[in-house]
Amino acid sequence: MTKASQTAFRPADPGTTETITHEKELACIQRCLIADPGDGDALGRAGTLLYEMGRFAEAIAHLKKFLSSRRCPLCKAGRTHYHVFTQLADCYAALDDFPQSERYYQTAVDLAPARADAYLGLGTLAMRREQFDRARKFFQIAGDFQPDCSEAFAGLAMIHQQQTEYTEAFEMYLKCLELDTDNLVALLGLFQTSCEMENFSQIIYYLEIYLAGHRDDTSVLFCLASLYAKEGRLSDARQAVMKVLTLEPNKPEAVELLTELEDADT
């Protein structure tokens, strides 16, 4: 799934090292564009950087200028610009301009019918519009073209979950996590469906794997502490919730869980 789709169109954190690096590169490119406003390569790179930084309106302006600098973006050479059309579609979706977003995703599909990204974007867009049958179709197409596409499984899982088909959602989230253990959307979905089904063993396993590489993620750590408590693993639950409170001392739900654990010991 394209970057903005994967993150629910969440802008990048301006304090990250990656964003600071992008800012420096963007400043250099903008100096080049002052000297040569029609530099297509610079326009394209600036658009991509702005897209990755979550500055979607600015990204649209640069990416559209880049396409206009190419005389015929829909000819065979335009296939090399597939990513530009998906980025434009992501940007418009982030700005809630669904018609324009769908237009650019469809253009990307026309350019490269066997690539999964644009279908994933169309599926995500349909979900946001609560067109669940349509979304299901696009995620299935993406999965047909890319059988190891974790995002397609996650999309199908979300549709099943939305329609309270928890067994099917659980299976799809598991398939997603088998392919991508860092998929936080799938982890959250699996946690929610596990709670609905009262089946916690597998979600505990995947949360533990995720936290091995993201030790300071307090949201996931709190979910794990809650599941340990449900499973009667009170010592593990206490250890996990204490770490949450070390990292985030004022998290009220963590304080409440710790109180419950201490009461269970008395």
Min mean pLDDT across 64-73, 110-119, 188-197 is at 64-73
Give 129-148 as a DSSP string.
Answer: TT-HHHHHHHHHHHHHH-TT
Mean pLDDT of 33-38: 83
pLDDT of residue 200: 87
Distance set, CA 55 to CA 12, 27, 40 (Å): 9, 14, 19
Is 5's pLDDT higher than 90? Answer: no
Is 24's pLDDT higher than 90? Answer: no
Mean pLDDT of 122-139: 96
Distance of CA 11 to the CA centre of its chain: 11
pLDDT of residue 40: 81
Mean pLDDT of 94-108: 96
Under the banding of pLDDT at 50, 70 and 90, the label for residue 80 is low
Q: Map out the domains of the chain as residue ranges.
A: 1-129
pLDDT, greater one: 173 or 199: 173
Is 111's pLDDT higher than 50? Answer: yes
- What digits encode the pLDDT tens for the residues 219-248? 999 999 999 999 999 999 999 999 999 999
| CATH 1.25.40.10 corresponds to the domain 1-129 | yes
User: Taking the CA of residue 16 as centre, how many other CA atoms within 13 Å lie in the half-sphere pointing to its CB?
Assistant: 9
| CA dist., res. 224 & res. 129, Å (int) | 32
pLDDT of residue 35: 83
User: Taking the CA of residue 99 as centre, how many other CA atoms within 13 Å lie in the half-sphere pointing to its CB?
Assistant: 0
| CA dist., res. 1 & res. 7, Å (int) | 9
pTM of the model: 0.79
| CA dist., res. 264 & res. 62, Å (int) | 59
- What digits encode the pLDDT tens for the residues 256-266? 999 999 888 76
Tokens standing for residue 75? 């000819």
| CA dist., res. 258 & res. 109, Å (int) | 51
| CA dist., res. 212 & res. 225, Å (int) | 15
pLDDT of residue 214: 92
